[in-house]
């Protein structure tokens, strides 16, 4: 049975190598891919009209009998086929250009479904290049019904795809899609069976069947997703009977007491959840999500302290060099006074220095290692890894997280993200992790005031920047996002830097920061900005995460329309970190209403949870967190946001499944097929 579905598409009747190559371009390689190539939308051609009532300019469907037909050849390169058809109300002319084969399909007296665009002129009704099908055939698939419209390309026509799918789904010598869901679940949640669902998603009997089919297929996806994630979670827990940290000792207490502030209630609660996990024999798999500036770093530091005082090493992985450097500084200021040894491992160390640090890590001479992707390279060996922290999870894939984890014998894992999402979603997206949220910001933060300005107001914006720097404040200017490459991005930043330092910001100490600078130059510039010698930092999104300069109270974002909402919010999180009022100015000349609406959300709220939710609504989940990046399968039909009710049902069903090993065994093949081997393997250890 399974072999059939994984069969190469090329061997289906009517396909062959050429068409197969075209299908491959649509991501269709096997029969199973084909039947999961779901329609993008539908055209309802099931509403039949009388010819006399057909509307000029609309695509309509009607039923009529062929009265006559003929070809003509008015010019050498032009063949016109005309047919006259009739129903009880009137006559219509069907016209095709250069489709001589149409004539062969026609017979006088034949009963047709006709779908096409109506043109009324001089009391005549004409239909140009219509789709026709005989009414008597029970497999009319292009007219007289709700017709699927597929994602397709130039070389593959809708009609050919429809025919192919029809043949595979209804042809005698093809297999029927097999049921994947347990019968008990189908009954309990009143779901359509799998074959009917697939048939109806492609060729809906009516709108109700279509809705039921879609419901069932969305349920299936979300259910398999939930099952897979729960499976991973369980698997992780099972293997993790390893590190049991002791109750808080001297180091943790000392750091807590030395903090110049009290933890917020949310920070306390999250810390208690982490502490409980770490003191448990099972390994921690926890995500901490909290808005920018909510104070996640100190929470990570306390967790690292806990593992260190238990005699383990802690690792912290950040997505960029700048952020790693920043964490290194912050953690140093906390740990060095306590005699804890730290090291920074990034990709840009000299060979000798790197070897040196690697040896120190291996022999256990350093306690806390901070780094970028350089941490997960093969030659990095830890002595006794007790805790792995990854910051800004949305930048790392699940696989990378797993790789770092595998460097220890089941260390505790703490993941931090500043792109918070509502709890229902978090439980799904991060279904293999426990989730803690910090919703509260430290006290005394003034909300950032955000404005949108067009280029007409640009001079006034920069005058404001100049005036504020004169008062001792500092500012960021973010240059427009260019997707092409880091090199082009760096050029754009350089151009903006030159323009501003020769223009609006003449006489003000400015710095330029982009991804193409040498490491030591980056460090030098950041150091000058921290010290306040540089007043305005003109930068690319390299400053997006982590940079913490409380005296910086202004941010100007050029070409704001090019950024995503969540990204703008991240950028904005660089200001509003002190007690002074901060201002964010989004420069944009966009005329597009959607974009305006998107930017306006930022002027209305500072709540990262609300913003992520809006972003999700406007852009859809795929673009929002890039499921691919997470190494998770794409949802083909379900929408995590729109289908929340189905998601909740699917979760209940998954819980039910997990309550018994027999049920779990039943669903395992479907889950592993859906997730793919590599994803599950990453967690096998």
Q: How many residues bind ligand ADP (CB under 6 A)?
A: 16
In the complex, minimum distance from the CB of residue 567 to ligand ADP, in angstroms, rounded to a whole number = 15
By beta carbon distance, the residue nearest ligand ADP is 295
Of residues 30, 28, 44, the one with CA closest to residue 153: 28
In the complex, minimum distance from the CB of residue 300 to Mg ion, in angstroms, rounded to a whole number = 8
Q: List the single partner that 261 binds among Mg ion, ligand ADP, none, CB under 5 to 8 Å by kind.
A: ligand ADP
Among 577, 598, 630, 651, binds ligand ADP (CB under 6 A): 577
In the complex, minimum distance from the CB of residue 220 to Mg ion, in angstroms, rounded to a whole number = 37
Distance of alpha carbon 500 from alpha carbon 513, whole angstroms: 14
The residue (of 297 and 570) whose beta carbon lies closer to Mg ion is: 297
The residue (of 495 and 579) whose beta carbon lies closer to ligand ADP is: 579
Distance of alpha carbon 195 from alpha carbon 209, whole angstroms: 12
In the complex, minimum distance from the CB of residue 403 to Mg ion, in angstroms, rounded to a whole number = 22
The residue (of 332 and 548) whose beta carbon lies closer to ligand ADP is: 548
Distance of alpha carbon 491 from alpha carbon 133, whole angstroms: 58
In the complex, minimum distance from the CB of residue 436 to ligand ADP, in angstroms, rounded to a whole number = 13
Binding string to Mg ion for residues 76 to 95, with x set by CB under 5 A, is what? --------------------
In the complex, minimum distance from the CB of residue 411 to ligand ADP, in angstroms, rounded to a whole number = 21
The residue (of 7 and 254) whose beta carbon lies closer to ligand ADP is: 254
411 is a site residue for ligand ADP (CB under 6 A): no
Give every CB contact of residue 501 below 8 A, 6+ residues apart in sequence. 508, 510
The residue (of 264 and 437) whose beta carbon lies closer to ligand ADP is: 264
The residue (of 292 and 389) whose beta carbon lies closer to ligand ADP is: 292
Among 264, 307, 390, 469, binds ligand ADP (CB under 6 A): 264
Distance of alpha carbon 115 from alpha carbon 37, whole angstroms: 24
Find where tokens 């426990």 sit. Answer: 434
Of residues 120, 138, 148, the one with CA closest to residue 45: 148
The residue (of 573 and 621) whose beta carbon lies closer to ligand ADP is: 573
How would you classify the pairing of strands 41-44 and 146-149? Answer: antiparallel
Of residues 340, 336, 333, 374, the one with CA closest to residue 357: 374
Q: Output the CA–CA distances (angstroms, integers) from residue 97 to 80, 100, 101, 335, 434, in the order listed.
A: 5, 8, 11, 79, 62
Q: List the single partner that 293 binds among Mg ion, ligand ADP, none, CB under 5 to 8 Å by kind.
A: ligand ADP
What does 198-241 look like in DSSP terms, one character per residue? HHHHHS-SSHHHHHHHHHHHHHHHHHHHHHHHHHHHHHHHHHT-
Q: List the single partner that 437 binds among ligand ADP, Mg ion, none, CB under 5 to 8 Å by kind.
A: none
Give every CB contact of residue 329 below 8 A, 6+ residues apart in sequence. none
Of residues 43, 26, 32, the one with CA closest to residue 9: 32
Question: Which range in 16-24, 99-107, 207-215, 263-271 contacts ligand ADP by CB under 6 A?
Answer: 263-271
Q: List the single partner that 263 binds among ligand ADP, Mg ion, none, CB under 5 to 8 Å by kind.
A: ligand ADP
Q: Output the CA–CA distances (angstroms, integers) from residue 587 to 220, 470, 474, in the order listed.
A: 44, 22, 18
Q: Which run of H or E residues covers position 289?
A: strand 285-290
Binding string to ligand ADP for residues 503 to 542, with x set by CB under 6 A, is what? ----------------------------------------
Q: Which run of H or E residues covers position 372?
A: none
Find where tokens 């984890």 sit. Answer: 405
51 is a site residue for ligand ADP (CB under 6 A): no
Q: Output the CA–CA distances (angstroms, integers) from residue 278 to 272, 497, 641, in the order listed.
A: 10, 47, 33
The residue (of 267 and 657) whose beta carbon lies closer to ligand ADP is: 267
Q: Output the CA–CA distances (angstroms, integers) from residue 559 to 277, 489, 602, in the order listed.
A: 44, 13, 15
197 is a site residue for ligand ADP (CB under 6 A): no
Angle, CA of 435, 439 and 440, to the nearest 5°: 140
Among 197, 267, 346, 639, binds ligand ADP (CB under 6 A): 267
Among 114, 165, 181, 418, binds ligand ADP (CB under 6 A): 418
Distance of alpha carbon 122 from alpha carbon 319, whole angstroms: 68
Length of the chain: 685
Of residues 440, 385, 416, the one with CA closest to residue 299: 416
Determine contact, residues 94/85, Cβ cutoff 8 Å.
Answer: yes
Structure tokens at 260: 């110049």
In the complex, minimum distance from the CB of residue 391 to ligand ADP, in angstroms, rounded to a whole number = 8
Determine contact, residues 108/127, Cβ cutoff 8 Å.
Answer: no
The residue (of 293 and 431) whose beta carbon lies closer to ligand ADP is: 293
Determine contact, residues 284/415, Cβ cutoff 8 Å.
Answer: no
In the complex, minimum distance from the CB of residue 605 to ligand ADP, in angstroms, rounded to a whole number = 17
Distance of alpha carbon 680 from alpha carbon 232, whole angstroms: 7
Q: List the single partner that 442 binds among Mg ion, ligand ADP, none, CB under 5 to 8 Å by kind.
A: ligand ADP
Among 63, 86, 93, 548, binds ligand ADP (CB under 6 A): 548
In the complex, minimum distance from the CB of residue 269 to ligand ADP, in angstroms, rounded to a whole number = 12
**Which residues 148-167 are close enough to bind ligand ADP by CB under 6 A?**
none
319 is a site residue for ligand ADP (CB under 6 A): no
**Which residues 292-321 are close enough to bind Mg ion by CB under 5 A?**
297
Question: Which range in 115-123, 224-232, 259-267, 674-682 contacts ligand ADP by CB under 6 A?
Answer: 259-267
What is the CB neighbour count within 10 angstroms for residue 523? 14
Of residues 346, 312, 313, 310, the one with CA closest to residue 327: 346
In the complex, minimum distance from the CB of residue 324 to ligand ADP, in angstroms, rounded to a whole number = 13
Percentage helix, strand, coil for the chain under 3-state DSSP, each rounded to 5: 45, 20, 35
In the complex, minimum distance from the CB of residue 573 to ligand ADP, in angstroms, rounded to a whole number = 6
What is the CB neighbour count within 10 angstroms for residue 173? 6
Among 80, 152, 263, 466, binds ligand ADP (CB under 6 A): 263
Binding string to ligand ADP for residues 419 to 458, with x set by CB under 6 A, is what? -----------------------x----------------
The residue (of 148 and 420) whose beta carbon lies closer to Mg ion is: 420
Residue 562 gets which letter from DSSP? G
The residue (of 548 and 595) whose beta carbon lies closer to ligand ADP is: 548
Q: How many residues bind Mg ion (CB under 5 A)?
A: 1
Binding string to ligand ADP for residues 285 to 314, with x set by CB under 6 A, is what? -----x-xxxxxxx----------------
What is the CB neighbour count within 10 angstroms for residue 380? 19
Footprint of Mg ion (CB under 5 A): 297
Footprint of ligand ADP (CB under 6 A): 261, 263-264, 267, 290, 292-298, 418, 442, 548, 577
């Amino acid at each position: 049975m399974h072999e059939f579905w994984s069969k190469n598409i090329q061997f289906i009747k009517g396909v062959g190598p050429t068409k197969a190559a075209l299908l491959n371009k649509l991501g269709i390689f096997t029969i199973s891919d084909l039947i999961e190539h779901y329609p993008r939308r539908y055209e309802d051609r099931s509403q039949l009209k009388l010819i006399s009532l057909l509307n000029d300019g609309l695509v309509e469907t009607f039923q009529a009998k062929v009265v006559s037909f003929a070809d003509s050849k008015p010019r050498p390169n032009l063949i016109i086929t005309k047919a006259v058809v009739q129903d009880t109300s009137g006559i219509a002319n069907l016209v095709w250009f250069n489709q001589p084969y149409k004539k062969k399909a026609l017979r006088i007296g034949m009963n047709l479904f006709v779908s096409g665009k109506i043109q009324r002129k001089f009391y005549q009704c004409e239909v140009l290049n219509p789709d026709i099908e005989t009414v008597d055939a029970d497999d009319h698939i292009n007219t007289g019904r709700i017709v699927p419209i597929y994602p397709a390309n130039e070389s593959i026509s809708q009609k050919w795809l429809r025919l192919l799918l029809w043949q595979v789904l209804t042809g005698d010598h093809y297999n029927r899609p097999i049921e994947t869901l347990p019968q008990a679940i189908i009954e309990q949640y009143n779901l359509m069976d799998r074959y009917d669902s697939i048939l109806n998603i492609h060729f809906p009997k009516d709108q109700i069947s279509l809705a039921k089919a879609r419901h069932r297929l969305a349920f299936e996806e979300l259910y398999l997703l939930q099952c897979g994630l729960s499976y991973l979670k369980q698997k992780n827990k099972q293997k993790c009977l390893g590190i049991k940290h002791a109750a808080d000792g001297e180091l943790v207490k000392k750091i807590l007491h030395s903090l110049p502030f009290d933890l917020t209630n949310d920070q306390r609660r999250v810390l208690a959840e982490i502490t409980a996990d770490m003191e448990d024999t099972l390994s921690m798999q926890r995500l901490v999500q909290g808005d920018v500036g909510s104070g996640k770093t100190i929470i990570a530091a306390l967790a690292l302290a806990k593992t260190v005082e238990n005699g383990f090493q802690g690792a912290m992985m950040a997505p960029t060099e700048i952020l790693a450097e920043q964490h290194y500084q912050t953690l140093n200021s906390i740990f060095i006074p306590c005699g804890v040894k730290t090291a920074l491992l990034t990709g840009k160390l000299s060979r000798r220095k790197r070897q040196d640090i690697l040896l120190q890590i291996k022999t256990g001479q350093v306690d806390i290692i901070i780094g970028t992707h350089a941490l997960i390279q093969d030659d990095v060996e830890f002595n006794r890894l007790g805790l792995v922290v990854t910051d800004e999870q949305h930048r790392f894939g699940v696989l990378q997280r797993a790789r770092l984890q595998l460097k220890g014998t089941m260390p505790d894992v703490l993941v931090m993200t500043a792109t918070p999402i509502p709890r229902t979603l978090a439980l799904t997206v991060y279904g293999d992790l426990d989730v803690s949220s910090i919703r509260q910001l430290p006290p005394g933060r003034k909300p950032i005031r955000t404005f949108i300005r067009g280029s007409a107001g640009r001079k006034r914006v920069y005058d404001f920047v100049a005036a504020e720097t004169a008062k001792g404040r500092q500012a960021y200017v973010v240059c427009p996002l260019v997707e092409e490459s880091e090199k082009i991005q760096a050029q754009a930043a350089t151009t903006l830097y030159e323009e501003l330092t020769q223009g609006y910001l003449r006489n003000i100490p400015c710095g330029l920061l982009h991804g193409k600078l040498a490491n030591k130059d980056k460090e030098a510039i950041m150091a000058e900005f921290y010290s306040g010698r540089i007043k305005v930092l003109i930068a690319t999104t390299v400053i997006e995460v982590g940079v913490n300069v409380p005296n910086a109270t202004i941010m100007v974002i050029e070409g704001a329309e090019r950024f995503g909402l969540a990204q703008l919010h991240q950028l904005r999180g660089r200001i509003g970190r002190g007690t002074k009022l901060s201002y964010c100015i989004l420069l944009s000349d966009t005329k597009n209403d959607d974009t305006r609406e998107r930017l306006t959300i930022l002027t209305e709220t500072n709540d990262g949870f609300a913003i992520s939710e809006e972003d999700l609504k406007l852009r859809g989940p795929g673009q929002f967190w890039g499921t691919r990046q997470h190494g998770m399968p794409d949802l083909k039909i379900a929408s995590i946001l729109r289908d929340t009710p189905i998601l909740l049902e699917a979760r209940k069903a998954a819980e039910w499944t997990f309550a018994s090993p027999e049920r779990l065994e039943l669903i395992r093949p479907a889950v592993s097929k859906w997730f793919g081997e590599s994803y599950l393997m990453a967690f096998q250890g």
